[in-house]
Every structure is written in structure tokens, then in C-alpha cells.
A = this chain, B = another copy of it.
Amino acid sequence: MNDASEKEEQTNTEESLQHAIETSDGQHVAEIVDTITSQEALRQVSKMESDDRDLLVSMLEPETAAELIEEAPAELAIAMIQDLDTTVAAKIMEELHTDTQADIVQELNSESSEAILEAMDAESAAGVRKLSQYDPDSAGGLMELEVFSFPVGDTVDSVLNRLIDDEVFERHRGQHPYIVDEAGRLVGVVSLRDMLRSKRSVALIDIMHVPISVRSETTQDELVALFDENPFLGIPVVDDQGLLIGAVSRIELAEAELERAEHESLSRQRTGDELRSMPTLLRSKRRLIWLSSNIVLNIIAASVISAYEETLAAVIAIAVFLPMVSDMSGCSGNQAVGVSMRELSLGLSRPVDLFYVLRKELGVGVLNGIALGILIGIVAWIWKDNAYLGLVIGLALSLNTLIAVSIGGTVPLILKGVGVDPAVAAGPLLTTVTDMAGFFLVLSLASLFMPQLLA
């Protein structure tokens, strides 16, 4: 499909949806949403004004709306549900997976979440209240409340019959049948193989294994390690009394990992979870928070230049190279930050590896510092026809490259070691220090070689 016809088709979908919403033609809205992919539907929803979005969501069957919300990024999911009529919102909430319900309740303001919970059926509401207490990055926050569990007195027959009858069996994807005692404590797990191998009258207690389980406070990282070591698709979660309270699936975990990777990459850009469908003022405010703190860092770095205004005035050509040295050192340092962030997230580096990382970065830093220094030195020499200018700029960039990769490589490990998120803090720290060092090196070396520069 070429761009023009794609554009036309997009516009048609958009216009028909808009028209159907304006004329309150709920059936047509449902038909359109049904013919497009959920991704395309979410794209349309994200481009709508909030009133239209609320109308559209209200016109859909609760199941359809819930399916869209399950696929939506968190912020859009909240936006789709927060201003709905409470009864409508509650009906949609009841159709969501329990972990999505909990995520939404945690994000809504307490007043509207309370109103929605009141309107939901009591059992679902109790489940959400329970789940939303857990840290979203823990097994408690990642688990589903619905477990595929059986009393210890049951037989193979009862499990196989549930497999046949249970309409929501798909929801238990990856869970093995978990066995609980009278008090609800997890005591065993049975495999499909063992059940098929046994007579239907065999008691579960006779073929069950000791289950591997996690506690609700088990962290996402620990879960990743556990699923890496073991082939299973789901793992049961127990509380501190050993009661079975939920299960985490490999798929849910993989999706959480994907979200975390995206979040990490966003933290570095300082846009958080902004979507352009959010109100302009909110977007502006959130971006300004980081930008205005960045101005302060910039002023600190620029004060180094200000201290050398006499040197600059004498050799004005240096002003051309200050932003270059600052930018090039920033790039070198950010490469080192990038490698450290990746090795940290892959588990290949830890805070204790500081000196290993420093040694490895210094190796690259010496090579790249020399190469870049020579390159920029030659440029400066030829451009301004002054060999000493080349020497000053080249030497400054060489040394600052070494500083930049050393800081860039180690700062993420140090931040992680002291419990600060390196994705947020490493970049600004690096840039400020390398800017200051770069400006200082260029200008102090220029002061040193002033007679030769003016010759």
C-alpha cells in the first residue's frame, strides 16, 4: 500500500469513527472497532479529544473495551477509564485481568477508584483491593489472583473435568494444577503427564510433587532468574503463612520486562510516560521539570567559560571549538554509560565490578582519545592555520575523552550501588562533569600556550 492510499484509509476510519460517535451510533462504533486491529483502535483513541474518547469507550461492550484497555500503555488505559460514568467503568473493570485492575486502581485518584470499586461486584473489588497493596515490581504485583487449584483430597478425575468444563481455562495459561490443603496452603503440584498416566480415580496426593513457589515480595529480578533456570510457564505465589494467593506467568513477566526496558530508555530521555494525547499543559510541565534543572547544570558548566573570558577574548577561535569538545566528550561518555547500563540490566556487571569496568574503559579511552584528539587537532590547525591551536584543542579532547569514558563507565555502577536509578541520574551527571572538565582543559591549556597562540 502506498503512502497516499494508506493516508486515505486512515482518514476514512478516523472520519467514520468520529461521525458514529457524534451521532451516538453505538452499533456502528462497535462495527468499526471490530474491523480494525486493537493497535489501530488504540491509535485512534489516543488521537481523540477526551470527551469523544469517553463516549467511544462507553459505546463498546464492556468485554471489547476491556480487551482494548488490556493492550493499551498504562497511561492511555487510565485515560480511557478515569472519566467514565462509574457504573460503566465498573463493568469494564470486572472484565479486566486482576493484575490490570490493580495497576489501574493504583494510578487512579483515590476518590474515583473508591467509587468504581463500590460499583463493582464485592468479590472482584476485594481482589483488587488486595492486589493493589503489592509493589508492582514484585511477585505480588505481577501475579494473577485466579489460580488453577484443587483441594488435596481431589482425584485426577476432578482436575481433568475442570480442564474440560472451565471456560476460563485459557486464563490459567501455563499454570499447572496446584494442590492446597484445608487451610489453603500450597502443598503440591501435578503434571499433565502424570495425570494422563494415572487412572482417573487416583488421588492427587499420590502423584503430586513438591512445588517451587515464590513469596509475594519476591522481586522481578529474582523471578527472571528463577524462570531462566526452570522451564515452567507459571509459578505459584504464597504468603508468609504458605497460603496460595496467586500465580505469576512467564508471559506476564516477559511483558513486565519489556515495559521496564522501555521505561529505562525513556528515563534517559526524561519524557517519562508521556503520550501526545495528554493535555498540553501537563506535557509542558513534565518536560520543564527536567529542562529547568538542566539549566542549572548548564550554568555550573558555563561558569568555567566565564572564568576564562580574557583568554577567550585573546583567542576568539577557541569559542568555535568549545561546543565541539563538549559534545564529543558527551558522546564518548554516553557510549560508556550505554554499555554499563546494558551490562547492568543483563546482569553481566555489578557495582563490585567497578575496577574491572574502569580498566576496560581506560583501554578504549586511551585509543579513542588519541584518535579523536589527532583528528580534531588537525581540523583546528588547518582551519585556523595555527599548529598550537591544534595542539591545545587536540590535547584537551584526548584528555577529556579519557575522563568521559571513565566517568561514563563507572557512574552507573556507583549509582546502582548506592540505590539511585542510573537511567535517570547518569546522563546529567556525566554531561555536567565532562562539560566542566572539557571547558577547563581547553581554556587552561590555551592560557598556557597563549604566547604561541597569538604568534
Q: Which one of B276, B298, B352 lies within 8 Å of A357 (CB-CB)? A: B276
Tell me which residues across on chain B come within 8 A of A268, comparing CB atoms.
Answer: 265
Given A164-B197, A323-B322, decide whether A43 and B347 contact each other with a Cβ distance below 8 A. Answer: yes
Q: What's the number of copies of this chain in the assembled complex?
A: 2
Q: A84 near B: Cβ within 8 Å?
A: no
Q: Which of A23-31, A114-122, A312-320 contacts B (4 or more CB under 8 A)?
A: A312-320
Q: Do B280 and A302 touch (CB < 8 A)?
A: no
User: Which residues of A322-344 are within 8 A (CB) of B?
Assistant: 322-324, 326-328, 331-332, 334-335, 337-339, 342-343
Q: How many residues of A contact B (CB 8 A)?
A: 117
Q: Do B345 and A43 touch (CB < 8 A)?
A: no
Shortest Cβ distance from residue A56 to the other chain B in the assembled complex, whole angstroms: 15
Given A323-B322, A337-B269, decide whether A375 and B302 contact each other with a Cβ distance below 8 A. Answer: no
Q: A3 near B: Cβ within 8 Å?
A: yes
Given A46-B348, A339-B271, decide whether A320 and B306 contact each other with a Cβ distance below 8 A. Answer: yes
Q: Which of A130-138, A211-219, A255-263 contacts B (4 or more CB under 8 A)?
A: A255-263
Tell me which residues across on chain B come within 8 A of A233, comparing CB atoms.
Answer: 173-174, 233, 251
Q: Which one of B164, B275, B292, B319 lies within 8 Å of A196 (CB-CB)? A: B164
1/0 contact trace for A34-50 toward B, CB 8 Å?
00011110110011000
Tell me which residues across on chain B come within 8 A of A153, comparing CB atoms.
Answer: none
A39 to B224, CA, bound (A): 10
Q: Do B265 and A332 touch (CB < 8 A)?
A: no
Q: Which one of B197, B262, B292 lies within 8 Å of A342 (CB-CB)? A: B262
Q: A288 near B: Cβ within 8 Å?
A: yes
5 shortest interchain CB distances as A-B pairs: A269-B338, A254-B254, A265-B265, A39-B347, A284-B367
